Structure 1
């Protein structure tokens, strides 16, 4: 029997924990219905003892355990965080970092779901290894853990005994992967059918929403952001957009990258692509109009940038996300 430990952190996302329990309990149920022993012994562990008596930390049929109690797990799952202040969430759960390291040292496999990758990253175990997380948290993750080989487009990653998944429904793909490894492909397929999971989704790029924080104190950078966001639809150069900013091009280029983490050109491209995505999602306009209104005058260049950024062609994106009536 595989000893599966689910870590209840401070600020865990209830949906993440509930989904994990539902899937692995269903696997156990399928086995027992077929007359076989359940493959997983599921235990819940609290990242600190104060959670043991905290309202909401209990799940039907489970008595959460302390990570301070002697235990040796085969597989440990780290759910997503609800707290958007990830640094604060990590600090609140720091006692779990040494526990995860010790469990890994003793042979456990570790798997994080969505932003749970930040806690796994804090262990240092991902340094030099591949990982993913929620697509919208990738920039923050890369900044916090520069030694991790982040693969932002991936739904699931595995590097040795370390596993990570992208955002939200990508968690189900990681669970399927773990079930396939531990229980075989037939069981994974049965679970995929029961939970209506598309087994062939390997990328999460098209779920990305481009957003750069304005919570900084650089007025020149804020001015450049504003000019790009209001003038992106004009097929002009970045030099034309920032010509009225009272700073040299070299200075604003350097400051913009330092504050936002990306270049002015990248900011303009991503702003245009985000505008195109909205047009493809919300209107039935011809592709030539979408291209023009997004600030491009070269369809070939537009399609190349769109595919690189989104992971699919503009037509494929519209087919996937447009819910209106076609003209």
Structure 2
């Protein structure tokens, strides 16, 4: 029997914990109905000062992470907050024990934004990981040594597992069940929870939400110019030529604040505009391309697919409001 523990971190997302428990409890129940030993021993753990607050949750007694026995797998659920820097700080006391569990042989699996806590441990340095698609820039800035693959639904690098946002958690759960219980059980659970097993990308769920929570006036001017004129300008140089600073200085400060270069910002602004047109209008593809700031259909399709993970036509078929 494999020992698994869900970490109840501060600001844990209730739905994330419930989904993890539901799936693993269903696996155990399935084994019981066939008179086979349950494959998982499930427990909850939290940092010492949080155990008393939670007392007992989800029908499980909560143990202190400082006194927890050695696990085979530690699961870190998503967070409820978008302030990841503060959330990691509030949960910093858990990090030494996460590292200890890993060093003694446990696998560590994170769901959605739970990857930020694992990133802060340093265990992901040089490793492949993913997180919620809209948290990708923040994660990349916070943990530049991690090989972030934000387009991926699930990643595994040795005994470290991560998943993308929301329903991607179920794909990681299936991945873990297949690894520990075999593909037949993973397929059975996929059918019970109606999970599409073939989805391996999440990039088409992203929404470009540029950061405006800063005080750099030069960067704000550049953002305003790009967002107001993305469909007219041919190059980024045309957009920033009147800003009173060198191109090198603009690019440096812009990337420091937003996490991407002005050129990438322009591309993502155009792609987001195209997505909205594909979702909400019946415009011909040539109109969509032109209204998004592109003149070359081939270049548009290449950039769109690179950013979104599917062609413009596929995106319209999937997301257009009928």
SS of alignment partner, residue 61 of structure 2: coil
Return the offset for 1:11: 0.5
1:52 — aligned with what?
51
SS of alignment partner, residue 305 of structure 2: helix
2:38 — aligned with what?
38
Q: Does 2:132 correspond to 1:134?
A: yes
Return the offset for 1:147: 1.3
1:181 — aligned with what?
179
Return the offset for 1:217: 1.6
Task: Name segments (4+ residues, structure 1) moved above 4 Å.
Answer: none
Alignment of 1:108-119 (within 5 A): 108-119=106-117
Return the offset for 1:70: 4.3
Contact kept? 2:233, 2:239, Cα under 8 Å: no
Contact kept? 2:138, 2:259, Cα under 8 Å: no
In structure 1, what is the Cα distance between the partners aligned to 2:108 and 2:248? 45
SS of alignment partner, residue 155 of structure 2: strand
Q: Does 2:270 correspond to 1:272?
A: yes
1:200 — aligned with what?
198
Distance 1:71 1:300, change over 3 A: same
Alignment of 1:95-244 (within 5 A): 95-244=93-242
SS of alignment partner, residue 85 of structure 2: helix
Return the offset for 1:52: 2.0
1:249 — aligned with what?
247
Return the offset for 1:50: 2.4
Distance 1:252 1:101, change over 3 A: closer
Contact kept? 2:45, 2:68, Cα under 8 Å: no
SS of alignment partner, residue 63 of structure 1: strand
In structure 2, what is the Cα distance between the partners aligned to 1:144 and 1:308? 23
Aligned residues: 322
User: Which deviates the most, 169-178 or 80-89?
Assistant: 80-89
2:79 — aligned with what?
81
1:156-186 deviations in Å (ceiling 9; x for gaps): 1111111111111111000000000111111
Contact kept? 1:235, 1:297, Cα under 8 Å: no
1:54-103 deviations in Å (ceiling 9; x for gaps): 25x63342111111224111111000111211111111111211111111
> What is the TM-score with the length of structure 2 in the denominator?
0.96
Contact kept? 1:133, 1:164, Cα under 8 Å: yes
User: Which deviates the most, 176-185 or 258-267?
Assistant: 258-267
Contact kept? 1:235, 1:296, Cα under 8 Å: no
Q: Does 2:287 correspond to 1:300?
A: no
Distance 1:146 1:249, change over 3 A: closer
User: Tell me, which stretches of 5 or more residues in structure 2 are unaligned?
Assistant: none
> What is the TM-score with the length of structure 1 in the denominator?
0.95
When the two chains are superposed, the root-mean-square deviation of aligned CA atoms in Å is 1.4
Q: Does 2:50 correspond to 1:27?
A: no
SS of alignment partner, residue 28 of structure 2: helix
